[in-house]
């Protein structure tokens, strides 16, 4: 990634269960980073991704990762994006343990296995903050959900079946800026069994996504805290599944795959 045209930015594209990110060295991006992110993340006119992880060197960690969503908004962390950064770092260094500094604190990714450019990590996600169930009026309907902080804000709505209009409901929940002044990621969750839940995801700055690491963690945390599931649970999203285990600290285990590397022409 070092040899490049002077008017281009090198990138690595990676995905976790269809939730895709571009890993870019921050030093290559000058000017408005939000504008750059909107351009490179465009599905039709750019490389295409749910967000950009800008990486840089930092004391006290292997790498610093700053997340910008595809709409140019900044976010504290992505669990999946963090694993994409870890996969890129392992591919460059052969390390088995990657310490990543994020805006939600230090996260440590332990390499469980590797098969070519597909990696499996177990990530220490910290201690979730789970609130009691609350009621919101959304489009004239009462929606019950649980607020969870994974270092970023999440609102979990449990349902027996996913409503046909769940995307519209999620967008209306996000629009309640008085309740969620920093915005909120919304997950609809369905309990399948004592050790499995299924989720749908609507994220700040990206809309519907195929997977979410913090969304999976938050959904599992809410299900565990409310007694719906055991403390180790499989979380199934449209793009694939991850495993969450929560006793004191919460751990998230799942894949990350490097897809491609290239240069984005400015």
For domain 8-126+254-265, the question of CATH label 3.10.310.10 is answered with yes
Q: Is 146 in contact with 222 (CB distance < 8 Å)?
A: yes
Q: Is 74 in contact with 107 (CB distance < 8 Å)?
A: no
Helix (H, G, I), strand (E, B) or coil at 167: helix
Does 129-247 match 8-126+254-265 at the fold level? yes
Domain limits of the chain?
8-126+254-265, 129-247
Q: Is 197 in contact with 244 (CB distance < 8 Å)?
A: no
Round to whole Å and give the CA distance between 266 and 35: 12
Residue 168: CB atoms within 10 A of its CB come to 13
* 57 φ, ψ (degrees, to nearest 5): -80, 150
pLDDT tens for each residue of 134-152: 999 998 889 999 999 999 9
**What is the domain class of 129-247 according to CATH?**
alpha beta
CA 199 distance to own-chain centroid: 14
pLDDT tens for each residue of 83-131: 999 999 999 999 999 999 999 999 999 999 999 999 999 999 999 999 9
**Beta strand segments in the chain, E:** 8-16, 19-25, 51-56, 63-69, 74-75, 97-102, 105-115, 118-126, 129-138, 141-149, 153-158, 185-193, 196-203, 207-209, 232-237, 240-246, 250-265
pLDDT tens for each residue of 176-200: 999 999 999 999 999 999 999 999 9
Is the pLDDT reported for residue 2 higher than 60?
A: no
pTM for the full model?
A: 0.94
């Amino acid at each position: 990634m070092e040899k490049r045209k002077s008017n281009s930015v090198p990138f690595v594209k990676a995905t976790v269960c269809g939730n895709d990110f571009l890993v870019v060295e921050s030093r290559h991006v000058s000017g408005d980073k939000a504008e750059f992110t909107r351009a490179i993340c465009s599905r039709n006119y750019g490389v295409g991704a749910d967000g950009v992880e800008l990486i840089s060197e930092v004391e006290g960690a292997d790498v610093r990762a700053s997340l910008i969503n595809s709409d140019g908004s900044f976010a504290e962390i992505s669990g999946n994006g963090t694993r994409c950064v870890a996969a890129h770092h392992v591919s460059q260094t052969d390390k088995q343990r990657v310490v990543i500094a994020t805006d939600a604190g230090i996260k440590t990714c332990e390499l469980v296995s590797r098969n070519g450019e597909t990696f499996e990590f177990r990530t220490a996600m910290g201690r979730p903050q789970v609130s009691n169930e609350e009621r919101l009026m959304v489009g004239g309907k009462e929606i019950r959900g649980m607020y969870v902080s994974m270092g970023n804000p999440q609102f979990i709505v449990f349902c027996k079946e996913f409503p046909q209009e769940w995307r519209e409901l999620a967008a209306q929940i996000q629009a309640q800026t008085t309740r969620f002044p920093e915005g909120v990621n919304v997950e609809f969750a369905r309990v399948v069994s004592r050790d499995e839940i299924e989720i749908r995801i609507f994220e700040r700055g990206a809309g519907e996504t195929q997977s979410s690491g913090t969304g999976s963690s938050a959904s599992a945390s809410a299900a565990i805290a409310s007694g719906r599931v055991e403390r180790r649970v499989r979380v199934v999203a449209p793009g694939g599944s991850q495993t969450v285990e929560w006793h004191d600290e919460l751990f998230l285990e799942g894949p990350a795959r490097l897809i491609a590397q290239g240069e984005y022409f400015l």
